[in-house]
Amino acid sequence: MSIQTRRERERAERERLIVTAARELAEAEGWDAVTTRRLAAEIEYSQPVLYSHFKGKDAIMAAVAVQGCADLAEELRTARTAAKGVREALAAVGTAYTAFGRRRPALYDAMFTHAVDLPFATPEAPEPLKAAFGELLQAVEPIANEGDDPGLLTETYWAGLHGLVTLMRSGRLPENAHEDRLALLIGHFTAG
């Protein structure tokens, strides 16, 4: 029993090592640099070891994405709780969200851009995903007009933020006017 648990503990630790190495490598050099060979070298094991933990590279990215959602949720929470009013909270959360996307592009891509086999808008979604969405929801809920579904409104607000981040990051929207666009988006959501 003790030996068994020690092994399981070591395995879990190595799994965390893989996910952390993948995230750090992706954040440092982009996901293109995260090859299974490179990742294996980074953790000082051979390639097949990765496949004893994860089904494939996509599953590793999914694990990184889940971890990233926890980070995002925390940052959103901090921003939201520090804001004074409901309008300020919505703005703070929006600013924190887009800042996260710009500061950690590779992580953001794993979370919200890359095609990934994760249940999102369902009860089976991993806890960190629901937590991140929940932070948005708590910021949006107070400014929802009666009759509006807060969940749907949050999804729509999220889509706006996501669009801003991705279009800007791919060079389709100029970076310098980001603050103005964000203000416009927030303004149109708080005005309603």
Instruction: Name the residues that contact DNA, by CB under 7 A.
Output: 3, 7, 14, 34-38, 45-49, 51-52, 56-58
Q: Is 95 in the site for a copy of itself (CB under 8 A)?
A: no
- Smallest gap from Cβ 154 to a copy of itself, in A, equals 10
Number of helices (H) and strands (E), helices first, in the chain? 9, 0
Q: Which is nearer to DNA, 4 or 122 (CB)?
A: 4
d(CA 9, CA 93): 37
CA distances for 143 relative to 77, 139, 190, angstroms:
17, 8, 6
Task: Mark 150-166 as b/e (b = at least 16 C-beta within 10 Å).
Answer: eeebbbebbebbbebbb
Q: Is 121 in the site for a copy of itself (CB under 8 A)?
A: yes
Binding-residue total with a copy of itself (CB under 8 A): 36
Q: Which stretch binds a copy of itself (CB under 8 A): 45-53, 55-63, 84-92, 184-192?
A: 184-192
Q: Is 162 in the site for a copy of itself (CB under 8 A)?
A: yes
Q: Which is nearer to DNA, 34 or 185 (CB)?
A: 34
Tokens of 50: 């990765």
Q: Which is nearer to DNA, 45 or 125 (CB)?
A: 45
d(CA 22, CA 43): 9
Interface positions with a copy of itself (CB under 8 A): 112-113, 115-116, 120-121, 148-149, 152-153, 155-156, 158-164, 166-167, 170-174, 177, 180-181, 184-185, 187-189, 191-192
